[in-house]
Amino acid sequence: MITRIVKMQFTEDHIDDFRSLFVDVREKIRDFEGCHGVDLLQATQDPTIFFTYSHWDSEDALNRYRHSDLFAVTWKKTKAMFSERAEAWSVLKRED
């Protein structure tokens, strides 16, 4: 299983718009094949910074989502609200 962390920074006037968009799509993302959940986190020091934190069966499952219509539509709307370019990481939990 992998975890996908995406850091996004928004203009102040789009914070509520993004939060509403996330509420609208989070269940669709959670229901996407291979997804085991997605959470939205907001930075405590800077309220314009958000992170999505999602769990996927594999990089292949994540890529199927990233090439889906759901992602294309959601990302287009989200990207238009950015004040900075997004950053993303796929990570593995290490027990050793």
Q: What is the pTM of this model?
A: 0.93
Half-sphere exposure of 82 (CA within 13 A, CB side): 14
Domain that holds residue 63: 2-91
For residue range 6-62, list pLDDT tens digits in order. 999 999 999 999 999 999 999 999 999 999 999 999 999 999 999 999 999 999 999
Cβ(86)–Cβ(50) below 8 Å: no
Q: Count of domains in the chain?
A: 1
Q: Which of 69, 67, 72, 41 is nearest to 54 (CA)?
A: 41
In a domain, 13, yes or no: yes
For residue 96, what pLDDT band results from cuts at 50, 70 and 90?
A: confident
Strands 2-9 and 87-91: antiparallel
Cβ(9)–Cβ(48) below 8 Å: yes
pLDDT at 95: 83
In a domain, 96, yes or no: no
For residue range 57-85, list pLDDT tens digits in order. 999 999 999 999 999 999 999 999 999 99
In a domain, 85, yes or no: yes
Indicate which CATH number applies to the domain containing 11: 3.30.70.100
